[in-house]
A = this chain, B = another copy of it.
């Protein structure tokens, strides 16, 4: 019997903070990048590598590129549902993709690309085997 590959995602929820609104009366667009980071943190935790532990192992996951498309605004106190998946993974880089929903309605999508850096030298490195194995199932 064939087991079909499933695209694994994690789901996180944040309420839009008053401090995150701007004078247009909507959540300021820069906060979406911070929400992406919350999704990424939760995916790492589910992969068995809380981000804090990744740093303890001597790695940093440095951001090299981000992008975000905004469809509909979020408002104060809205519950943002962040759906995060691993879009690409290599020994030297990772790319995460994010969809932001209000209920079932997609309101924004984006991605962040990263590469692994040695915490001390700040030079690009390959992540160790154990880290890579943990993220594999999310692809």
Residue from B15, B21, B66 within 8 A of A23 (CB atoms): B21
CB closest residue in chain B, given A60: B24
- A interface secondary structure, majority: mixed
Q: Is A51 an interface residue (CB 8 A)?
A: yes
With A18-B51, A51-B18, A65-B68 known as contacts, the answer to whether A33 contacts B23 (CB < 8 A) is: no
Residue from B18, B24, B33, B70 within 8 A of A64 (CB atoms): B70
With A18-B23, A37-B18, A52-B77 known as contacts, the answer to whether A65 contacts B67 (CB < 8 A) is: yes
Chain A: interface residue total (CB-CB under 8 A): 37
Determine how close the nearest CB of chain B comes to the CB of A94; give it in whole angstroms.
Answer: 14
**Identical chains in the assembly:** 4
Determine how close the nearest CB of chain B comes to the CB of A81; give it in whole angstroms.
Answer: 16
CB 8 Å contact bits of A49-67 with B (1 = contact, 0 = none) = 0111001000010111111
B23–A62 contact, CB under 8 A?
A: no
With A51-B77, A64-B70 known as contacts, the answer to whether A38 contacts B24 (CB < 8 A) is: no
A residues lining the B interface (CB < 8 Å): 15, 17-19, 21-26, 28-31, 33-34, 37-38, 41, 50-52, 55, 60, 62-70, 73, 75-77
